[in-house]
Amino acid sequence: MSMKYKYAPLTEPDGIRLIELQPALESSAPIRYKLVHANLSRFGGDDILNHYMALSYVWGCPDKTRRVWINGTSLEITANLFSALCNIPDETRALLLWADGICINQSDSDEKRLQIAIMGQIYSGALHTIIYLGLAAIDSAEFQCITALRQSCN
């Protein structure tokens, strides 16, 4: 039986958690992440080296979950968030990412209320925001377009 992830409290008014995505060296490896605390005031300005990305995604069915490994312990997340995370990792460098389903303790109503209140700052402070709508069906025009773009880049 695996241990479930236990959130450490956020202690600063502008405190957030960020997911540290490690390079995806093998697509078959289990997804393992590190969750780090940061302050929004640390990010901003024109500093392109010290930044994070934000993820906006469709939560989907709360009953369809997948397991990820955060700091060596397991955390259940929605299948849609899992799918988004599988499509984000870079093969060469670590990335910092904010995604509400992991970065906010969903079991803590007070924390959720405080984090929702600063979501505008979280998204505006991100260098990029990734909007993930889900996987495209193989026979869709979107999938064909993505496939053609990937082939033209190789």
Quick: pLDDT tens for 76-96: 999 999 988 888 767 777 889
Answer yes or no: is pLDDT of 107 > 50: yes
The arithmetic mean of pLDDT across residues 50-63, rounded, is 87
Q: In 27-148, at which residue ranges do the beta strands (DSSP E only) sit?
A: 32-39, 53-57, 65-70, 73-78, 95-98, 128-132
Question: Comparing 71 with 113, which gets the higher pLDDT?
Answer: 113
Say if 131 falls within a structural domain: yes
Looking at the 3D structure of the chain, how many domains does it have? Answer: 1
Question: Comparing 31 with 57, which gets the higher pLDDT?
Answer: 57
Q: Residues 68, 89: contact at Cβ < 8 Å?
A: no
Q: Which domain covers residue 36, as residue numbers?
A: 15-153
Question: Comparing 141 with 71, which gets the higher pLDDT?
Answer: 71
Answer yes or no: is pLDDT of 33 > 60: yes
Say if 83 falls within a structural domain: yes
Answer yes or no: is pLDDT of 154 > 60: no
Say if 5 falls within a structural domain: no
Say if 7 falls within a structural domain: no
Say if 119 falls within a structural domain: yes
Say if 31 falls within a structural domain: yes
What pLDDT was estimated at residue 41?
86
- Which region, left, alpha or beta, applies to residue 83 given φ > 0 means left and ψ of -120 to 50 means alpha? alpha
Say if 2 falls within a structural domain: no
